[in-house]
Amino acid sequence: MLDTSQHYERFKVPNRWVICTECGGQLARYQRSKVVKRPEKYSCGDCSGSLQIEVADDQ
């Protein structure tokens, strides 16, 4: 992770969020990627926790 004070606005609202059930980390996803289709095959890169998918509110 980079230690920076940069902040940016998202140009597009993500369709789904990949969320770690252990540490609460969140990753935005805009397409049905492999991890979105089969989250049970993947784990969090930070803590190795399980992942779950949440559909964005405006979908």
- Sole residue written with tokens 């597009």: 12
d(CA 35, CA 11): 22
pTM of the model: 0.73
Kind plus residue range of the DSSP H or E element containing 46: none
Q: Are 39 and 51 in contact (CB under 8 A)?
A: yes
pLDDT of residue 59: 53
- pLDDT by residue for the chain (59 residues), tens only, comes to 556 676 666 678 889 999 999 999 999 999 999 999 999 999 999 999 999 999 987 65
Domain ranges of the chain: 16-55
